[in-house]
Amino acid sequence: MDIKTGKPDHINDVLARLHRNSWYEYTSKEQVYANLRLAEKIGVGGELIDNPVTELPSEEVVNAKLKEMQDEWDLQNDSYKSNRREEYPSIEELVVALYDSEDKTAVDEKRAAVKLKYPKP
C-alpha cells in the first residue's frame, strides 16, 4: 500500500488478503508476479508447518483484484463523496439546525454549495 495514502498499489496487497500467514514468497528481490511462488512452510503458533495453500492465483486474478481494491479505495477517498463528506456540515451543526430555523437555512445552503462544488459524475 502507498505509505502516504493507504491506497493499494502492489500485488502484495492482494496476496496478503487471500490467505493468512506468509504463504507466498519471491524467487528474487524483485517482487513481481513472475517471481512469485508458494512457500513450502509457514509459521503457525511458533511452529513451521507445510503450507496448506496448494495453488497460486493466476496473474489475471491478482491484477483484477488489485484493480478492484484500487477502485474501491478511490470511491471512498478520491470521489465526490469523500470530498463532500469533508465539507458537509458537522453532526453538531445538523443537530442545532433541528431546533433553529436560521441554522437550518444555513445548513441547507452549505450543503447545496458543497453539492454544487462536487457534483455527481
pLDDT digit string (tens) for the chain, length 121 residues: 988 888 999 999 999 999 988 999 999 999 999 999 999 999 988 999 999 999 999 999 999 999 999 999 988 877 777 778 888 888 888 888 888 878 888 889 999 999 999 888 7
The phi and psi torsions of 61 (rounded to 5 degrees) equal -65, -45
**Alpha-carbon dihedral sign for residues 97, 100, 105, 106:** negative
| Amino acid, res. 65 | K
Q: How far is CA 29 from CA 32, 35, 70, in A?
A: 9, 9, 24
Which cell is 38 given? 508458494
pTM, 2 dp: 0.64
